[in-house]
Amino acid sequence: MLSKPNPSAAIFVASFCLFAAMAVQTSAQAPPAAPGKPQMAPGTQNRILGEAETAFGKKEYATTITKIKELLAALGPKKEPNYETLYFYLGLANLLSDQYPAAEAAFDECAKAYPKGEFTSRCYLGIGRACILQDTPEKKQQAIDVLKKAALDPKYRSEAGLWLGQVLIELKKREEREGGS
């Protein structure tokens, strides 16, 4: 469940190790950095990635967020397929640290950058959860829209349906309290 998940450390480590290997390979093949912007050394990438992984495992989400942002800034604006994991975990770390608008923005950026990616449906769940937790009628309406997208993925249909039902019930109760039908 995305609300208070306890992602397996092994999955997180494997994702980051895969990313690290791909990032090092990309760095080795990358053209020289533009003048004025030094390229981050692969060893530095791996160190920062390791620090982010360790912080996430210790539930130090603020540190995780800082390290992932540092790495993404150094890697540049190009959205490589192997960066999807970083964007997803940036959203997840924000969600778990109760930074709901930042979580929504990170998940949204990931879903837009990787519309057919491995984490796209989970990003829709994350956006939906972040919107629900912001607790405004507008955000709850937005949650309905993205949770419907998440429900299209059979792996996440049950979770999306559960949250969708929750938000629909909450909106109906609010409507009844305000004198609606």
Q: Say whether pLDDT at 41 is over 90.
A: no
Please report the domains of the chain, with CATH numbers, ordered by start residue. Answer: 9-30+38-177 (1.25.40.10)
User: Percent of the chain scored above 70 by pLDDT?
Assistant: 74
Q: What local confidence, expressed as pLDDT, does residue 179 receive?
A: 60
Q: Give the CA angle between residues 50, 121, 169 to the nearest 5°.
A: 120
Q: Which residue do the tokens 């990170």 mark? A: 106
User: Percent of the chain scored above 90 by pLDDT?
Assistant: 61
pLDDT in tens, 120-170: 999 999 999 999 999 999 999 999 999 999 999 999 999 999 999 999 998
**Which ranges constitute the DSSP H helices of the chain?**
9-29, 42-57, 61-75, 84-96, 100-113, 120-134, 137-150, 157-177
Q: Are 97 and 61 in contact (CB under 8 A)?
A: yes
pLDDT in tens, 99-118: 999 999 999 999 999 999 99
Q: Give the C-alpha separation, 125 to 108, whole Å.
A: 10
* Two structure tokens written together for 31: 């053209």
